[in-house]
Chain A
Amino acid sequence: MLPRVLRGGAWRRVALVGDSAPATVGVAIILAWVMLALLAPLIAPYPPNASDLSALAHATPSRTHWLGTDHLGRDLLSRILWGARPVLVIAPLAVLGAAAFGSLLGLVAGYRGGWIGLVITRACDIVLSFPVIILYMIILAHFGSSAWNIIAVLTLTKAPIIARIVRGMTLDLREREYVAAAKMRGESSLYIMLVEILPNARGPLFVDMCLRTGYNVIIIGVLGFLGIGLPPPDPDWGGMVKDTYGMMMVWPHMALVPCAAISSLVVGFNLLAVGLRELGLRD
């Protein structure tokens, strides 16, 4: 059942989100971060990479540095704000890529079935059960990490999940009578997959995409934490934790702040997903 969110006109769609408490909270959090990221150049009190070692004497949050500074004296608030930008670009792009690629794979596997369906399904199963961290480590350590590499790797590893979902739906939808009617008019397989089947798979797909975006934010953080994320000195939330968690006994706030930032953004996406799923079920 498509959540009503996707069936109405644009404004009705937006208004319905308000019906579910988790969805509303989730959207609020996401929008807040988007605003902060967009306005970062304007509202950040200091340049993000400006290191001021003298500030280390008072590294904890104070009036001059609202969230304190990191171990190199750089203002944490500014680094957090600037650090939101790459995350909010990479995560959604990777999800869109995975959705496009995965949908295509899933459609073909589900509709054509047979030999090629089997190969695609099995390949997806393997990629899915393989711990992706290992994949990232191997690929990124080899090719180096840049924004595009990260997007590519995320797309490749997330596409199988989407493919599996779309395949499941396709297997069900292809038995519908309107598909038989389309075949009897002589429509091509491509038309049937893209025009008859795919639009009806939108509902669960959309919910899943919200979840994926949340996971992608986590993974970007993890990559940064492990040292294979975006290269320094640009602020990367995960990288910020990596550099400072060793000093937790003395300055816990340096690691806590970026951790809280990542967590809150992911909570936003996950709550939205929970809310959307609820709305869909309620209908």
Chain B
Amino acid sequence: MARFVAKHVVFLLLTLFVVSFLVFTLNEYSPGAVARKILGAYATQEQVDLLTKQMGLDRPLLVRYVDYVRAAASGDLGQSARFKAPVREILAKHLANTALLASVAFACIVPLSMLLGVAAGMREGSRLDRGILIASTIVASIPEFALGVFLATVFVVWLGWLPGTATLVAGGGWSAAAQLVLPVAVIVLFDAGYVVSMIRASMVEVMQRPYIRTAVLKGLSFRRVVLRHAVRNAMITPITVIMLQINYLVAGVVVVETVFAYPGFGRMMLEAALFKDIALVEAGALVAALLAVVTNLLGDLAYMLLDPRIRA
């Protein structure tokens, strides 16, 4: 057990360092670049040089990186050039918003896709299966922004039942819950489409296995065969995929956030990258990397829990 945890912790730290270093280098390799980005394109070269010296940006890259790491470890992630506020606050606020969206979506996606995937896979080739397969393929083929546009056209433009944006700013007349419906719907549809096809494929494969034949020929009811014998085996491979969806839900939903003007983490990153708000980009990359490794770890743990053959 100790070896397992130690291995993953080492891996986590290694990844964080590698990612943050790469991002740091990308943004700050030339001394003048940072100052130039802060002052904008119209500043004179002297002003740029002056700021460079002031901020200590003419020191070697590695030194600056080490400084950065030290500061980050103590919780200081720098100052956002665009918002003129500590990165930590901005990060926290946007992450909280994203957490809300992500958890609601996740809570919908997992049970829905498990239900549909198992129902489809348990009788391959049945009408239910074909229907679910085609439907999930089509839905997973529509980019999120297109899904957003389609749903908005129906529910906002034609029917007027739901708001077109989800800025979470009170006073717009719509409750927070109503604002969340469309973004969550888009995310759930798009992602569940993919997860359903994975679960279905795994289920189909498991139903072909000899031990399912044994269970059927023991005289067990179909329901029992599916629920007691098939499902647990079928979930072994998809479980890691499901864990990885958390990554997508946190940062990958930038498109949905943009469509609905939701103040989430992804959108924050996009604008930071476009406006060259370096400190924010670096901090965001760190968070994304951290999340990536943690979900990997969770996926591995879940896999081990489900499959006793690995534990041996």
> Do the two chains touch directly in the complex (Cβ atoms below 8 Å apart)?
yes
- Whether B296 pairs with A125 at a CB distance below 8 angstroms is yes
Cβ–Cβ contact B145 & A131, under 8 A: no
Interface residues in B118-161 by Cβ distance below 8 A to A read: 133-134, 137-138, 140-146, 148-150, 152-153, 156-157
Question: Complex formed: what's the CA distance from A139 to B138 in Å?
Answer: 30
B174 at the interface (CB under 8 A from A): no
CB neighbours (8 Å) of B149 from chain A are: 241, 245, 248, 252, 255-256, 259
A1-17: contact bitstring with B at CB < 8 Å (1 yes, 0 no)? 00000000000000000
Inter-subunit contact B143/A129 (CB<8 Å): no
Q: Taking A225-B255, A249-B156 as contacts, is the C-beta distance between A129 and B247 under 8 angstroms? A: yes
| B293 on the A face (CB < 8 A) | yes
B269/A270 in contact, CB under 8 A = no
A259 touches B145 (CB 8 A): yes
CB-CB nearest 5 A-B residue pairs = A259-B146, A131-B251, A141-B273, A266-B141, A129-B292
Known: A245-B145, A248-B153. A226 touches B270 (CB 8 A): yes
Distance in angstroms between the alpha carbons of A142 and B282 in the assembled complex: 13
Complex interface bits, A198-237 against B, C-beta within 8 A gives 1, otherwise 0: 0000000000000000100010011001111000000000
Which chain A residues (110-153) contact chain B, with CB distance < 8 Å?
122, 125-126, 128-134, 137-139, 141-142
Contact A259 B164 (CB under 8 A): no
CB–CB A248/B156 < 8 A: yes
Residues of A within 8 A of B250 (CB): 131
In the bound complex, residues from chain A placing their C-beta under 8 Å from that of B50 are: none
Contact indicator A130/B141 (Cβ below 8 Å): no
- B289 lies within 8 A of chain A by Cβ: yes
Chain A positions within 8 Å of B284 at CB level: 134
- Sorting the interface of chain B by its residue count into under 10, 10 to 19, 20 to 34 or 35 or more gives 35 or more
Residues of A contacting B: mostly: helix
Residue A22 interfacial (CB < 8 Å): yes
* Complex: chain A residue closest to B246, CB-CB: A129
A131 to B259, CA, bound (A): 18
Task: Kindly state whether residue A91 has any CB partner on chain B within 8 Å.
Answer: no
Which B residues between 236 and 260 are near A, CB-CB below 8 angstroms?
Answer: 244, 247-248, 250-252, 254-255, 258-259
A263 to B152, CA, bound (A): 16
Task: State A62–B296 Cα separation when bound (angstroms).
Answer: 53
- The secondary-structure label for the interface of chain B is helix
User: Contact between A130 and B292 (Cβ–Cβ < 8 Å)?
Assistant: yes
Enumerate chain A residues within 8 angstroms of B148, measured Cβ to Cβ.
245
Task: Indicate whether A134 sits within 8 Å of B285 (C-beta atoms), given known contacts A259-B150, A274-B137.
Answer: yes
Q: In the bound complex, what is the Cα–Cα distance between A41 and B134 (angstroms)?
A: 34
> Is A68's beta carbon under 8 Å from chain B?
no
Which residues from A are CB-within-8-Å of B252?
131-133
With both beta carbons as reference points, the residue of chain A lying nearest to B261 in the complex is identified as A246
Min Cβ gap B139→A in Å is: 10
Chain A residues 227-283 with CB under 8 Å of chain B are 227-228, 238, 241, 245, 248-249, 252, 255-256, 259-260, 262-263, 266-267, 269-271, 274
Picked from B134, B138, B273, B289, the residue with its CB within 8 Å of the CB of A130 is B289
CB of B113 closer than 8 Å to a CB of A: no
Q: Which residues of A contact B142 (CB under 8 A)?
A: 259, 262-263, 266-267
With A129-B295, A228-B274 known as contacts, the answer to whether A256 contacts B150 (CB < 8 A) is yes
Collect the chain B residues with CB atoms within 8 Å of residue A138's CB.
Answer: 23, 26, 273, 281, 285
Q: Are B141 and A263 in contact (CB under 8 A)?
A: yes
Q: How far is the CB of B109 from chain A (nearest CB, A)?
A: 16
Complex: chain A residue closest to B275, CB-CB? A141
Indicate if the CB atoms of B143 and A134 lie closer than 8 Å: no
CA distance A122 to B27 in the complex (A): 25
Q: Determine the chain B residues whose CB is within 8 A of the CB of A134 once the complex forms.
A: 251, 266, 269, 284-285, 288
Q: Which of A139, A227, A245, A270 contacts B141 (CB 8 A)?
A: A270
- Whether the Cβ atoms of B143 and A248 lie closer than 8 Å is no
Interface pairs (29), CB distance under 8 Å? A126-B15, A128-B244, A129-B292, A129-B296, A130-B288, A131-B247, A133-B251, A133-B255, A134-B269, A137-B270, A214-B141, A221-B143, A222-B143, A228-B274, A238-B145, A245-B148, A245-B259, A248-B156, A249-B157, A249-B164, A252-B157, A256-B149, A256-B150, A259-B146, A260-B146, A262-B146, A267-B137, A267-B142, A270-B138
Contact in complex: A270, B145 (CB < 8 Å): no
Q: Quote the shortest CB–CB distance from A168 to chain B (angstroms).
A: 11
A70 and B165 CA atoms in complex are apart in Å by 22
Q: Whole-angstrom distance from the CB of B127 to the nearest CB of chain A? A: 13
Q: With A134-B269, A226-B258 given, can you name 13 additional A-B contacts, CB distance below 8 Å?
A: A129-B292, A133-B251, A133-B254, A138-B273, A218-B143, A222-B255, A225-B143, A226-B270, A238-B145, A241-B149, A266-B142, A267-B138, A269-B141
